[in-house]
Structure 1
């Protein structure tokens, strides 16, 4: 069975990651990156937003991601930009000090199983008065469409036993104050922190592609199961998800896809 993770999705990630792109545009606007600022794109994936960041500044732009295949894709797509570089890095082990004015983290924070370690590394990597911005799915109902579809997997006789061995890899906090406290305890002054519900209409195929670009890398990732996955399980799981999305469509074949998202901007406190 082919491993299902971000490495295996690198070549098609950008064409499927539609909601990540729309959310990244909002976060980019909130950060107001100036033309002389150095920026770290944390969890940069294949580098689409890194390219946009590089248009905002003449400073150094560095994209990091734990996926080697994503970084290879980013390097190939960003050739010729002299101020942009990419590194394979675990966010818990950045090892960077006082180098960046901005840390930008879009659709990645939910994957950090030890967020306090990540924030400690980010705090160290920022210059005095540097700022960090995140956007990520939030709350247990991070995407009601996906959560509802997963119920079919939980209840189907062909999948429910194996899915019982799935360990949720995501870090979803329930309240704005929970995110605010997490950052404040890590030495940040939080300037903006809000959970918003965002909805847009997509075709069933687009919704399935969006699901595959992100959530599937958890739900069908062998690393998050304590029993071996089979091709039959993966095939049935995918079929159930496709069926669920079709059932969510209206008479025009469109699905109202909803996400709850945290947008947070924080500054490196000088009081610590």
Structure 2
């Protein structure tokens, strides 16, 4: 895997789950990590401490996504904390992981929940990328976290599926636009992963077995399964890959 020493990475929604796994893995490879969180400061501190105790470098940045000016607030904090670390200004790796989900079939979706879903899952990443590109060095990496629901229908997650479908389109469109700067843009699409989101469904042996059965490996994904692929996309080894949606579901689509 490529050496990320001297690189700075921002991972949104990295206080827990997949985001935490990605932040930890990129730190292992040498990157300075900005751990973004929306409200759970304690969890963000845990992520930072897990990185620093292992010899890595990290700091936390708070910004509630989905509100007007969210990208501005995020990068104001990012710039301030980066300077406090004594690091050079700029950004090399941006991982758009933060998202929310209001489950609901077509007859249950509300205006408020739909607008909130789009604001956090689609609008925020767009403007975070816009702001991030003003800081990103040539040869940088943008990694968007999408979902298997964009290629495998889940009617109960309609609004979430729509928001993630937009992210897939954003990825290949931006990749075309940013090639001249050597910036790659790719999407990771996980399936069922051991996070707080799936905790309720994994609470019984039957529920866990049902989720595990989706994968050809007959197990539920772990955050590290996604993080290891993200580390590849963040490295120079992935320099000839852009505009792609990488299935990281453990063969759930086969």
Question: So what's the TM-score if we normalise by structure 1?
Answer: 0.46
Question: So what's the TM-score if we normalise by structure 2?
Answer: 0.49
Point out the structure with the larger strand share: 1
Higher Cα radius of gyration: 1
